[in-house]
Structure 1
Amino acid sequence: MGASEPVTVLGRVVRTSSALGGGAARVTLADGRTVVVKTGAEAALAAEAAGLRWLGAAGGTRVPAVLERTAGRLVTEFVPGGSPSTATAAELGRGLARMHAAGAPAFGAPPPDGPADAFIGRAPMRNATAAGWPEWYAADRLLPYLRSARDAGSLTGSEAAAIEAVAGRIADLAGPPEPPARLHGDLWSGNVLWSPDGAVLIDPAAHGGHRETDLAMLSLFGCPHLGAVLDAYTEAAPLADGWRARVPLHQLFPLLVHTVLFGRGYAAQALAAARAL
């Protein structure tokens, strides 16, 4: 969205804009308001808008408000920058516990009005409901990306076999049954913005899943004051015994997605997670 283009957002003329990446731009309107405008595939925008509304309704960690949703465009609240602290990290942990506790109709359930064919980053992600987490996680989250990575040559046959073995033992590895949680679904540290008022979650791939998946993903690529986040979470909503040993299981999904998107650079991490199990 160039500054010279005669466009309007929220019925106001765009005064300036600057690219943020990922099809998003920071836009200042003629009336002085600043918003974020994202363009892209219609299904991706529909899924993101539905996910933001669903997560926002949970009363947990804040997400940007959806201000406008039109064909090919999503407009959300702009989040000013800030710095994390142990206090804001602890509040993130408590907010995630509330968000997860808001629940979902089923494992794999999309947000209300969200498409079944959604995305995680730039990778397609199918949301199809299932009664039990282990079988759903293996069939709908591990194996599709495993096959794509193997077919693309990003995983060798022996590496793929090691990960398939984990999928085959999923019932033994999954831990005690839990109800479906309301997940952000792509909760790496880059999707946590630290505003002056605390953490704000962006770019969700929201669906019903296991709450340990969000927490494992948060720790995968590093998060400021992660210990404070996890301590506050487990105080508010204790996790089942053995959750730390299950972290590699829940990290397999995002690692396979990254292997599909970015190639063999992530294959070794995915294999290490499988072997840790």
Structure 2
Amino acid sequence: METFTKTPREPRSALAEAAGLTWLRQASTAVVEVLSADERQITTVRVEEVPPTPAAAREAGRQLAIIHSAGADSFGSPPPGWTGPNYIGTRQQECTPTDNWARFYVDQRVLPFAFAAYRRHHLSTPGLHTVQAACEHVLNMAVDVEPARLHGDLWAGNLLFGTEGPVLIDPAAHGGHPETDLAMLALFGAPFIEEIRRGYLGVVKLEGDWLRRTPMHQLHPLAVHALTHGPGYGVQLVRAAEATLRL
């Protein structure tokens, strides 16, 4: 068995990742297996990658739905037993459990990164106001959903296609809205996204015209990228906020 070891710079990031992977893998073996982790590094089974196929993408969607269906104690809840930091990429984010998804999403996910992007001059003043208005709109929407067990950082690079099927890696796992993972896969170009959705919907039915809500669920990753990758993502964040206001 080949292994893969990495040494993150962020304090306790390796342990946070291990906790998230272990929690997700309790629901599905389509999550990379953790072999060891400590304060400095994490070692997992190495995934032998192969080109993605439509069938593998459908299976990825099916397994993601199974993971989501395993549930979480609340919105914002971290992996059980983990009291340390939660990271998305290199950035720490809050994980305080709540029973209100909209309040969690606005206060712990979108606005902290939007304000940070604004302070770095990666988001304009009018843009920040649009994001704030979109967040108020989210707070006023009726969202009736049970907490899902989210990967939390599911861009295309964290969905690998291995010789034995799809494998999720490098999560920011927490309790959240199931559409958020799907929205992030769409945002950053996951292969065969329609097949992923088809596999997902074969297990879990999403409410109403759920694809129209995709920009709302992209506010968080776009705010993160506006902070870390520059004003180009600030422009995309504003567009997603405008689309959210039209919901």
Give the structure-1-normalised TM-score. Answer: 0.85
Q: Quick one: distance in 1 between partners of 2:80 and 2:39?
A: 18
1:239 to 206, 220, 223: 206
Which residue is 1:44 aligned to? 13
Q: Is the counterpart of residue 275 in structure 1 residue 242 in structure 2?
A: yes
Which residue is 1:204 aligned to? 171
| CA shift in 2, pair 1:242/1:176, >3 Å | farther
Q: By how many angstroms is 1:170 displaced? A: 1.0
Task: Tell me the amino acid that sits aligned with residue 140 of structure 1.
Answer: Q
Which SS does the other structure have where 1:162 is aligned?
A: helix
Task: Tell me the amino acid that sits aligned with residue 47 of structure 2.
Answer: V
2:133 to 165, 176, 181: 165
Which SS does the other structure have where 2:160 is aligned?
A: strand
Larger Rg: 1
**Is this contact kept in 2: 1:193–1:202, CA < 8 A?**
yes
Map residues 174-253 of structure 1 onto 2, 5 A cutoff: 176-253=143-220
Which residue is 2:26 aligned to? 57
Deviations 1:111-150 (Å, cap 9, x if unpaired)? 0232352110011111111111011111111110111011
Identity between Structure 1 and Structure 2 (%): 40
Aligned length, in residue pairs = 243
Q: Quick one: distance in 2 between partners of 1:259 and 1:204?
A: 20
**Is this contact kept in 2: 1:141–1:253, CA < 8 A?**
yes
- The structure carrying a bigger strand percent of its residues is 1
**Is this contact kept in 2: 1:43–1:115, CA < 8 A?**
no
**Is this contact kept in 1: 2:101–2:143, CA < 8 A?**
no
Which SS does the other structure have where 1:154 is aligned?
A: coil
**Is this contact kept in 2: 1:56–1:62, CA < 8 A?**
yes
Structure 2: where are the runs of 5+ without partners?
none
Deviations 1:59-93 (Å, cap 9, x if unpaired)? 2x611111111231211110001121111111111
Q: By how many angstroms is 1:221 displaced? A: 1.1
1:88 to 56, 60, 74: 56
Deviant stretches of 4+, over 4 Å: none
Q: More relative contact order in 1 or in 2 (CA 8 Å, sep 6+)?
A: 2
Give the structure-2-normalised TM-score. Answer: 0.95
Q: Quick one: distance in 1 between partners of 2:131 and 2:11?
A: 33
**What is the alpha-carbon root mean square deviation over aligned residues?**
1.3
Q: Quick one: distance in 2 between partners of 1:167 and 1:176?
A: 13
Map residues 104-183 of structure 1 onto 2, 5 A cutoff: 104-173=72-141, 176-183=143-150
Task: Tell me the amino acid that sits aligned with residue 234 of structure 1.
Answer: L
Structure 1: where are the runs of 5+ without partners?
1-32
